[in-house]
Structure 1
Amino acid sequence: MMASCRILATRLRSSQILNCNLPFNLSNNCSISCQTVKTLRLFNSTRSSSTETDRLYTEKHEWVTVKGNVGIVGISNYAQEALGDVVYAQLPEVGTSISKEDEVGALESVKAASELYSPVSGKVIAKNSEVEETPALINKSCYEKGWLFKVEINKPEELSDLLSEDKYTEFLKTDNH
């Protein structure tokens, strides 16, 4: 997408986005979908906001919160309960480039082992060394102290593929998880 499209998309009012028809024409040389505009607004609003967005989930039970262009990744409460007492955490190394759905690490518990997948593409900029030293933090506080790694997001449009908390809760009620 051209830079001018990105700038124009950030200036749109919410009502324009919610009521737009595909394709959405921003100028003579710029035509993008409504979903792309919504994703850009989400990404740009998080870049200028000091608060985190709602937690987004994968169907493999990882979550990501976004602050600026940084995603903080962990596993859901459902996942940590299914695993049981986590005794080992292998996290991605800082500096590693990762793609959405890449296997980036592993968690082991007294009753199971599970691969860890990235919910977004980017570069790992931090890992939670406290979790590597004390994996039980995942069980005690999977959304706070038990986060796993931080990634500098390079494809913010991927966020629109993830599940909101409400959609994730509905997903858990199905037999597909």
Structure 2
Amino acid sequence: MTDARHPERWLNDKRIQRLSGDEYRAYSLSLMWAVSNRTDGLIEEIDLAAIPHIRQEHAKALVKAGLWCKCEQGWMIIDFATTQTSKSEIEASERARRKEAERKAASRARSKEGQAEQGAGESAALNVTSEPVTPAPGLSDSTWSKRQDDAWLKYSSPIEAVPSAPGPR
């Protein structure tokens, strides 16, 4: 996604301040159109009608204001190169984003494979099943709960209990 920018200095730019509301909207829309269509500021004659709310009279006013200049193919937005993202910059950014997304996807896949292999090994070692465990007939819920807690502590702790060393005498 790209964005057309309106630099702060345009708040005091006489060329922009002297535009009517419709002319300012035409200029702003022309910037957005040129960025999104990656024209590097070129607005061809045939494309003028494709930009919403822009008419031939706006093009004349923007040339007169010094914001556009007439060229062979149509018009160039004069400050485009210094204020907007060029086609080559957008494409480079997209390539970098795509490459980063691919790198992250590969990393997630490797991590997921490692977790699956590790989980399968642990499950086999502990003889873990996916079937629900229910108390044996005759055990009360509190006895069953205590046995579950004891088993969890025994098999989930990575560090075995080490007898404490005798303290200072």
TM-score range, shorter chain: under 0.3
TM-score scaled by length of structure 1: 0.22
**Which structure dedicates a bigger proportion of its chain to strand?**
1
Relative to total residues, which structure has the larger helix share, 1 or 2? 2
TM-score, normalised with respect to structure 2: 0.23
Report which of the two structures shows the higher radius of gyration computed on alpha carbons: 2
Select the structure with the greater relative contact order (CA < 8 A; seq sep ≥ 6).
Answer: 1
